[in-house]
A and B are shown apart, each in its own frame.
Chain A
């Protein structure tokens, strides 16, 4: 059973701080990793993807991947109240009919003004 684990939170950080969201996955064959943001009552919105070990930066967001440890994280710098949402980690493998994404349950982030 392929699994993706996230702390459900809530994770509370003050405005302007760095929020750190973590995710572990069980399938060593996983090759692509995605972070989505989901506001309450809305659908998931893509933040970024990563597929190589190391860091990938996009604006205030940095994704970090360590395949040896089966660990992926998302850092949000200068957190804003508008970043308050649930962050979903998703993992995708390749080969055969493995076209689906496997999601964690999400981490709820609250940014306090």
Chain B
């Protein structure tokens, strides 16, 4: 069974640029959630995708957008990068999203470290 994978592992961009981060969910998982983790902080929820539809969004501006594909892999796109976007971006997958803790437990990928200069 393959776990959650993310690419790339590290990325350096400059202010104003755009970036796309990718995530492959664990086998059998149809739900992907994205989180941003700044240094010294807990992960902050960006949004979740369930069966290719957005299923909830955190307090992030519209320049953060996403997609989920038929194979349940997902992308996070960030436009007009700002210095404060520098963080570890985490993708987590789960079997479902509202079936109780046994299906909703989220497993994290290794993350993408984004640095904005």
Interface centre among B43, B44, B56, B98 (most CB of A within 10 A): B43
Neighbour of B33 across the interface among A43, A94, A99, A106, CB < 8 A: A99
Chain A contact residues: over half helix, strand or loop, or mixed?
loop
- Inter-chain contact A99/B50, CB cutoff 8 Å: yes
Given contacts A43-B108, A43-B110, A45-B108, contact A99 B98 (CB under 8 A): yes
> Is A92 in the interface zone, CB < 8 Å from B?
yes
- Inter-chain contact B90/A97, CB cutoff 8 Å: no
Q: Which residue of chain B has the shortest Cβ distance to A101 in the bound complex? A: B106
> Is B24 in the interface zone, CB < 8 Å from A?
no
A-B pairs under 8 A by CB, number: 72
Within the assembled complex, what's the spacing in Å between the Cα atoms of A112 and B100? 37
- Inter-chain contact A97/B43, CB cutoff 8 Å: no
> Is B104 in the interface zone, CB < 8 Å from A?
yes
Number of B interface residues at 8 Å Cβ cutoff, please give it: 30
- Inter-chain contact B42/A88, CB cutoff 8 Å: yes
Within the assembled complex, what's the spacing in Å between the Cα atoms of A32 and B101? 6
A interface residue count range (under 10 / 10 to 19 / 20 to 34 / 35 or more)? 20 to 34
Instruction: Write out, one digit per residue, whether chain A residues 87-101 have a CB within 8 A of any chain B CB (1) or not (0).
Output: 010101011111111
Task: Enumerate the 10 nearest inter-chain pairs by beta-carbon distance, A residue then B residue, closest first.
Answer: A103-B42, A97-B56, A100-B45, A99-B97, A32-B101, A43-B108, A43-B111, A99-B48, A49-B101, A105-B42
Q: CB within 8 Å of A: which residues of B?
A: 31, 33, 35, 40-45, 48, 50, 55-58, 88, 90, 92, 97-98, 100-101, 104-111
